[in-house]
Amino acid sequence: MATGPIAVLFRRLIDNQTELFIFNEKSAGYKMAKRDTNILIVKHKDFGWIGTNAITAEITSRPWNVPEAEQSSLFPPEGEWVSKNGHKSYVYEVVHLNALNEAVDAKYETPPVDIFYDNLAAYYHLIFEDFDESVTQQGRQLSNIIHTTWPSLRNQSLAVKVLDVSCGIGTQSIALAALPNYIVSASDISHQAIEQLNNRAAKLKLSIPTSTCDMRVADKCHSPASFDIVMSADNSVPHLKSDADILLALKAMVACIKPGGGVLLTIRDYDKITRGLNQFKPYGVRIENGRRFILYQIWDFERDVNRVTFHIIEEVLETGMTNVLVSRSVYYAISIKKMLQLMYKAGLMGVKVLEDNEGFYQPVLVGTKPE
């Protein structure tokens, strides 16, 4: 579909309830994004764009103000629509959505990504069976990767300057800052995650300057051309909702590195991940400070949108008192191939996914800023 919006959202004015319709090639219309419904928005030969029951062919809704002659042949009009079901009628506000992530966010009222990570910040270390051990391991792996990919950095007498633009609670920032010969700066969109990083760094007596910053404007938060390596690990970049946003972030990262320096991303390989709904992703059970934590995610895919619901159950062992945290976010299930293309477009050379990623748990993508 080259020209129409990817989805349309109906908001019922009386109670703000929403229904999402996603473009469906087979019907040349929009299909309600709900299982077991047969409602389509299609262009009718006599009535123009209508909502209809695909089984009974009954008309269920119509635009109120846009006459058929003024309607596009490609997509339903925005504005007021009216539905009729027996003797009941409702008025809707209809809007076009141009990115599926935008559509899914609107439908499921996903909180902004900083809120998702703010909510999780105090628990995030529990994702790892042993956070400190993971930090040590990731530091070793990343440092080997950096030295192998950019050998001149191994030989330079100065410390390697690294900027982590999605540091979270500091898994990789702390890992590298703890090694000799690395100077690390870190930023993230979640200020609560940064707070966690700051506390950990203080305990470990590590100096890591931090700031709250959206990676799409990393070049406005950090000095341009001043880092050897800019990194973003653990599938952070796919939190951005579109190719355009990812390109913006990659260009900002490139602006932060010195000529000859590199960008290092680690992301999931979505081509290898099963699509579908209701996928259970357990992290495990952890015991900490007299509490038991059970952590798991539920993944739902709608085309290339991966909705993630994070559940954390916290039990006070002595009293059995239980607290449940549920937080939602969305990833753009971008392929590695597409990400490499965007890295190239952002001005990086030698973009590739590393064949030998030193055992790092995710594919590692690298590219170098031309001298």
Ligand X SMILES: C[S@@+](CC[C@H](N)C(=O)[O-])C[C@H]1O[C@@H](n2cnc3c(N)ncnc32)[C@H](O)[C@@H]1O
In the complex, the residues that contact ligand X under the rule CB under 6 A are: 113-114, 117, 165-169, 171-172, 188-190, 193, 214-216, 233-236, 239-240
What is the closest distance, in whole angstroms, from the C-beta atom of residue 231 to ligand X in the complex? 8
315/203 Cα distance (integer angstroms): 27
In the complex, least distance from residue 29 CB atom to ligand X, rounded to whole angstroms: 34
Q: Which of residues 114 and 358 has its CB atom nearest to ligand X in the complex?
A: 114
Q: Count H helices and E strands in the chain, helices first.
A: 9, 19
With respect to ligand X, which residue has the nearer C-beta, 22 or 113?
A: 113
Q: How far is the CB of 169 from ligand X (least distance, A)?
A: 6
- Min CB(305)–ligand X separation in Å: 15
Residue 82 or 115 having the CB closest to ligand X = 115
| Cβ–Cβ < 8 Å for 277, 301 | yes
Least Å distance between CB 110 and ligand X?
13
Residue whose CB is less far from ligand X, 156 or 223: 223
User: Considering beta carbons, is residue 30 or 123 the nearer one to ligand X?
Assistant: 123
Minimum CB separation of residue 233 from ligand X in Å reads: 4
Tokens of 139: 């530091």
Longest dimension (CA), the chain: 80
Q: Which residues, 6 or more positions from 348, have their beta carbon under 8 angstroms from its beta carbon?
A: 250, 254, 262, 263, 367, 368, 369
| Helix %, strand %, coil % of the chain (to 5) | 30, 35, 35
Between 12 and 251, name the residue whose CB sits nearer to ligand X. 251
Distance set, CA 250 to CA 36, 237, 369 (Å): 41, 9, 11
Pick between residue 60 and residue 136 the one whose CB is nearest to ligand X. Answer: 136
- Name the minimum Å distance from CB 271 to ligand X: 19
CA distance 344 to 352: 10
* Min separation Cβ 238 and ligand X, Å: 9
Burial environment of residue 198 by CB neighbours within 10 A (0 to 12, 13 to 18, 19 or more): middle
Q: What angle do CA 327, 338, 347 make, to 5 degrees?
A: 110
For ligand X, the closer CB: 149 or 166: 166
In angstroms, rounded to a whole number, what is the distance separating the alpha carbons of residues 333 and 101? 10
Cβ-contact 54, 27 below 8 angstroms: yes
| Cα–Cα distance for residue pair 145/139, rounded to 1 Å | 10
Which residue number places its CB atom closest to ligand X? Answer: 168
Query: Which parts of 232-309 fold into alpha helices (H)?
Result: 243-256
Give the DSSP H or E segment for 273. Answer: none
β-bridge mates for residue 308, sequence order: 299, 329
**Closest approach of ligand X to the CB of residue 290, in Å:** 25
Amino acid at residue number 192: Q
Q: Are 160 and 229 in contact (CB under 8 A)?
A: yes
